[in-house]
């Protein structure tokens, strides 16, 4: 591959990771605005989040297979196209059904792009894959931090969330232009074999890790999507709706800061404590920091930053434990993405339903239940490798 082609791959990798982090971390902030803009109920917001996650789940299931069949460039182009169409369509949606449909298309695009981008690293940076994974995750984290601040600045100047989505669509269009000039050889993707899936589903230790990840993702998705709505609903003395919206965006950004720092140093933590001990300790820390933050929501809302740090190391640590339990690492990664999609969809449905029925405060407290479940599960996770036959 020529230097020009390498720079294009470099641009695609880091621009895409930045955008994916930004879109993932601003869904809740935008949905809080959409809640008032087109009259969404809390249960409908839950349905939207679930629909987005179903799109992500479907894309995760299919992308590895079609990457093998059609090539990496093809799937990146499909993913970017779905993102562009979904973003533009969502920005112009003034009815619930249109918003719902285009929101699922965004989920399809993000799922396709995420799996494709993960495949880029070992394919084109074989000797420096570890370093590139870290840097790519850093760009994902930067997107998580920067985009809520951009949204807050836009809202303070009465600029609609619709403009934000159009702006991202323009950047995705640039990604498509670069893809059109990129020459990639057909390369293997994340293989997901049906027989391998069935084998993994019968392995109790592996499934324990998968269920752990499902509830972890449920907690993360519930926080990022429902916190801005929850905080805006609070009766805080002398605080206007605009001020609460701004504070909510700053909290999400600060959560992302410590979340990203935790991801950076997570490897050192694992080496120091061991992966199972890290899982148990930081699961317990997640529960403690979440409960304290919830209790201090009126006094010091930024306590949720500590919750972000506690959560940061859990997904990669649990994924590492799971992938070492089998030689079918591609299928295991596919199963991890399936769990992620299901966990997010489950959280959207349950929290939205409970919020609509009993109030957003009650729905938001469901996070504590999710964290309790994965804390209990962490005690039963074992690091002993189980090699598949």
Mean pLDDT of 321-334: 70
Confidence of residue 354 (pLDDT cuts 50, 70, 90): very high
Q: Tell me, what's the pLDDT at 216? A: 95
Confidence of residue 2 (pLDDT cuts 50, 70, 90): low
Catalogue all structural domains in the chain, each as residue range(s) with its CATH number: 3-184 (1.20.1250.20), 196-380 (1.20.1250.20)
Q: Tell me, what's the pLDDT at 386? A: 44
Mean pLDDT of 142-166: 89
Judged against a pLDDT cut of 50, whether residue 266 lies above it is answered with yes
Q: Lowest-confidence range among 69-78, 130-139, 153-162? A: 130-139
Q: Report the C-alpha gap between 322 and 318 in whole angstroms.
A: 6
Q: Tell me, what's the pLDDT at 58? A: 84
Judged against a pLDDT cut of 50, whether residue 222 lies above it is answered with yes
Judged against a pLDDT cut of 70, whether residue 70 lies above it is answered with yes
Supply 20's token pair. 């994916």
Q: Tell me, what's the pLDDT at 196? A: 63
Confidence of residue 336 (pLDDT cuts 50, 70, 90): confident
Q: Report the C-alpha gap between 300 and 290 in whole angstroms.
A: 13
Q: Which residue has the higher pLDDT, 384 or 254?
A: 254
Q: Tell me, what's the pLDDT at 111? A: 83
């Amino acid at each position: 591959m020529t230097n020009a082609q390498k720079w294009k791959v470099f641009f695609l990798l880091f621009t895409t990771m930045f955008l994916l982090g930004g879109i993932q971390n601003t869904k809740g902030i935008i949905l809080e605005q959409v809640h008032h803009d087109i009259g969404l109920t809390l249960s409908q917001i839950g349905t939207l989040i679930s629909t987005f996650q179903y799109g992500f789940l479907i894309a995760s299931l299919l992308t590895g297979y079609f990457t093998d069949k059609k090539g990496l460039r093809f799937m990146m182009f499909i993913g970017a196209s779905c993102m562009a169409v979904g973003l533009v369509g969502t920005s112009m949606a003034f009815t619930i059904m249109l918003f719902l449909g285009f929101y699922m298309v965004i989920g399809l695009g993000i799922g396709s792009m995420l799996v494709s981008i993960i495949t880029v690293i070992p394919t084109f940076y074989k000797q420096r894959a570890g370093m590139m994974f870290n840097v790519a995750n850093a760009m994902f984290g930067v997107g998580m931090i920067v985009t809520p601040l951009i949204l807050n600045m836009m809202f303070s100047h009465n600029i609609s969330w619709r403009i934000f989505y159009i702006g991202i669509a323009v950047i995705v269009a640039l990604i498509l232009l670069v893809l059109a000039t990129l020459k990639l050889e057909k390369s293997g993707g994340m293989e997901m074999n049906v027989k391998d899936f069935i084998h993994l589903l019968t392995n109790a230790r592996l499934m324990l890790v998968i269920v752990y990840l499902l509830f972890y993702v449920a907690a993360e998705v519930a926080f990022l999507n429902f916190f801005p709505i929850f905080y805006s609903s609070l009766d805080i003395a002398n605080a206007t709706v605009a001020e609460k919206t701004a504070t909510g965006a700053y909290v999400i950004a600060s959560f992302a800061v410590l979340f990203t720092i935790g991801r950076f140093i997570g490897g050192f933590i694992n080496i120091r404590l061991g992966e199972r001990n890290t899982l148990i300790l930081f699961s317990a820390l997640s529960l403690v920091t979440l409960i304290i933050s919830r209790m201090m929501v009126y006094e010091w809302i930024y306590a949720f930053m500590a919750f972000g740090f506690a959560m940061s190391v859990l997904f990669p640590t649990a994924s590492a434990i799971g992938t070492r339990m089998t030689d079918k690492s591609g299928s295991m990664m596919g199963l991890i993405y399936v769990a992620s999609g299901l966990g997010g969809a489950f959280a959207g449905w349950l929290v939205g339903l409970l919020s609509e029925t009993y109030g957003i405060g009650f729905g938001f407290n469901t996070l504590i239940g999710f964290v309790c479940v994965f804390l209990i599960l962490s005690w039963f996770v074992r690091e002993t490798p189980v090699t598949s036959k």
